[in-house]
Amino acid sequence: MKMSDITKNWTPAQWDALVLQYLPERFLTGKPGPCPMCGGNDRFTYDSKSGRGDWVCRQCANGNPMAGDAILLICRYTGMSFLELARVVEGEPAPAIVRPAHPPIRHRGMSDAAKARRIERVWSSASPLVPGDAAMRYFAARVPGLVAPRPSALRLAMMDYRHEHAVQGRYPTIVAQFTRPDGRMATVHRTALDPAKPAKALIVTADGEILPAKRNDVTALPLPGGAVRLMPPRDGVLGVAEGLETAYAAHMLFGVPTWCCLNRVLLSRFVVPQGLGIHTLHVFADFDEIDPKTRKSPGMADALALAKRARSEGLTVHVHRPLVRGTDFCDQWLTAYRLQGIAGQRAVCA
């Protein structure tokens, strides 16, 4: 069946769901904002006026207006060709690496070289984790009893939290190195921690807006395909999960060395690096509630998409989900830990 046959009777909600598979939700508010393709401020609007994921950017084509539907939007944002996207909609595996045709959002005109220098500076200024520091206390609280190799991809720093040009506070911050399949650092992910207790920081602006404790820094390279490499693969076996805590919990539950992809979309696009001898991939899915628009569990759907593609590439793949819907493996580990009375309350780096 052709793509046109599949989509001809789609509802606006189905078009929106397709776009949400590829673009962050912050671009799809229906209000003028930054363009995900050219990076300009307040020039892009996703209005879906004809119910097909319609959008307009007032200066996207060399300073000229451009508009289209969800198909053109996804292709321009990801770098996929029309045929590649059509094959995905028709049920074939997604391309192994999504190639952005344009940078997602420019950081105030910063060049790619400047972005690379910035994230290297942030990474270099952070310190390796040591037992008893704020990061290890946080992981001990989230994944009690944790025993794992010392993570070379995680560091700790005291960092200002900036929002709209203003410093909202200074927090101990977990700095995670997000690495492309070829080994290059694409960005650093930051988790601001509460200075007094082992928990994420609660950051509130003067007007009452609650800000996310977790966020990426600038992106120097495309993120699809990469991961935070928390521990080395073992005997050709590797696991991947969405979040840091979930990856560590999956490691404790299954004994599989596990990497973190940060979110479900990047999990679905993970690419096994060459040269590490990996032949078996464990995919640890978040067991999300059913999305009424797509009638799918988002975390499971993206995990299965990765599994399908990885199997087509010759890997042995095992997909795991938590026992209870609406939970992740961090929740499952906490339940198991409490029920079994596992000894030890402090994370240990071997």
| Averaged pLDDT for residues 50-75 | 80
User: Which one has a higher pLDDT value, 218 or 271?
Assistant: 271
Percent of the chain at pLDDT > 90 equals 49
According to the model, what pLDDT value does residue 108 have?
47
64 & 186 share domain: no
- Domain range enclosing 203: 112-349
CB 63 within 8 A of CB 73: no
Q: How confident is the model at residue 343 (pLDDT cuts 50, 70, 90)?
A: very low
Q: Name every residue whose Cβ is closer than 8 Å to that of residue 318 and which is 6 or more positions away in sequence.
A: 280, 281, 282, 283
Classify residue 37: in a domain, yes or no: yes
| Averaged pLDDT for residues 22-44 | 80
65 & 135 share domain: no
pLDDT at 139 over 90: yes
What are 283's two structure tokens? 């995919």
User: Which one has a higher pLDDT value, 263 or 26?
Assistant: 263
Range of weakest confidence among 162-171, 195-204, 310-319: 162-171
180 & 223 share domain: yes
Give the Cα separation of 214 and 199 in Å (integer): 12
Q: Indicate the Cα dihedral angle 23, 25, 28, 32, nearest 10°.
A: -110
According to the model, what pLDDT value does residue 115 have?
86
pLDDT at 166 over 90: no
Range of weakest confidence among 62-71, 245-254, 301-310: 62-71
pLDDT at 205 over 60: yes
Percent of the chain at pLDDT > 70 equals 87
Tally of domains within the chain: 2
310 & 345 share domain: yes
User: Which one has a higher pLDDT value, 208 or 282?
Assistant: 282
Q: How confident is the model at residue 198 (pLDDT cuts 50, 70, 90)?
A: very high
Classify residue 96: in a domain, yes or no: no
Classify residue 73: in a domain, yes or no: yes
Classify residue 287: in a domain, yes or no: yes
153 & 232 share domain: yes
Q: How confident is the model at residue 95 (pLDDT cuts 50, 70, 90)?
A: low
165 & 241 share domain: yes
Give the Cα separation of 286 and 299 in Å (integer): 5
According to the model, what pLDDT value does residue 58 have?
78
Q: How confident is the model at residue 74 (pLDDT cuts 50, 70, 90)?
A: confident
How many residues appear in the chain?
350
According to the model, what pLDDT value does residue 194 have?
94
According to the model, what pLDDT value does residue 272 have?
96
Classify residue 104: in a domain, yes or no: no
70 & 216 share domain: no
pLDDT at 107 over 60: no
pLDDT at 199 over 90: yes
pLDDT at 21 over 50: yes
User: Which one has a higher pLDDT value, 63 or 233?
Assistant: 233
